[in-house]
Amino acid sequence: MADIPMRPRPNPLRAVPGYFASEQGLQVGTSVSPDASDDDLKFLQQLDVQWAMLIVNNPEHHTAAHYRQYRERLESYGIQIYRVANHGVHNVPEITLNLPGRDEKIEEFIQFIRNLSAAGIYYNTYAHMGNGIWSTGHTDGRGGVNARVLDIKNAEGNWIGEIFTGEHTHGRAYSEDELWDNYEYMIRKIAPVAENEGVYIGIHPDDPPVYALGGIPRCIFGQFDGYKRALEIADSPNIGVCLCVGCWLEGGAEGMGVDVIEAIRYFGGMNKLFKVHFRNVSNPMPEPWQETFMDDGYQDMHQVMRALREVDFDGVVIPDHIPGMAGGPGAGLAYSIAYIRALVQAVNNEFGEAAGG
């Protein structure tokens, strides 16, 4: 069991005047395209989505001015931007593996943080994988839904269209010490800027979170002890965790070192849990697994939401890797948001009754 360090405090983003306008506690968000139509945003408004994870793919739009424009449009629908996705400074092999261009990429990351702050956006999710997200392909899930599957014996990495295969995806095997040195070099430059700009960074688990893949160890964000050490190295109130429940379930309690409930209690107790990705899988590795609907995997997601409520998580829960359902692109989103909202209501009621009784 992981020791819970302390009782949680409110989300640190609440210290930013006017930023956290919505109610305290468990809140709901989802990914949003900058090209979302008025009907798309009205649909999110009808689902009572409070927060947007804005995915900006145009490199020229990663400026404070563009972020402010996006923010103003979304706020007209009652939706605040929680995070801007910038794939140029996310899963960066130059940073993770100390490849040529590392310092330039770190400076790009620093400027991104400054742009967020200047636009009044104070959170970012960062992932530290050097050769992408690994999969084997897709298979039919419940009702024929298209579901990602992973067989670790037959897989390849992918990040924004670049494919990683073979024994050594970057020419050679890398050591764990190299990975740790590269992380420390980056985080010691990034953390002071984040603190100065008031931006909080939640680090996403590796996907999948175990094994050396293509010659690159996943020793930092592929296990609980790695996370603990990484946060200690950062030594910053602005560096924490974006907990992807699905990734944690992929590794399982044995692979990760603790199960997802213990992870929530630990990171939530440290006030280091900044955002939660809500998804389920069929089983943990090493056996092949597939992604599932939230109610169709091996984890009881009610217990996950209950653990978040137990630590008074004050932040955003988003559906992740939403299945493409019959009925159009909005069907899977509506199903996922409704499921999350029902669980939020259930655990709030449970804790309300317990407190009052």
On whether the CB atoms of residues 256 and 263 are closer than 8 A, the answer is yes
pLDDT at 144: 80
In a 3-state reduction of DSSP, which class is residue 52? strand
Domain ranges for the chain = 12-356
| Cβ–Cβ < 8 Å for 133, 163 | no
Task: Label residue 21 by pLDDT band (50, 70, 90).
Answer: low
Tokens of 312: 């008074």
Which residue did the predictor score with more confidence, 47 or 20?
Answer: 47
When pLDDT is averaged across residues 315-336 and rounded to a whole number, the result is 91
Between CA 188 and CA 60 the distance in angstroms is 27
Q: For residue 141, what pLDDT is reported?
A: 83
| Residue-wise pLDDT tens digits, 220-259 | 999 999 999 999 999 999 999 999 999 999 999 999 999 9
Alpha-carbon Rg for the chain in angstroms: 19
137 or 111, greater pLDDT: 111
- pLDDT, mean of residues 310-319: 94
Contacts of 168 (CB under 8 A, 6+ apart): 214, 215
For residues 7-16, give the mean pLDDT. 53
Q: How confident is the model at residue 22 (pLDDT cuts 50, 70, 90)?
A: low
The CATH architecture annotation of domain 12-356 reads Alpha-Beta Barrel (3.20)
pLDDT tens figures, 68-94: 999 999 999 999 999 999 999 999 999
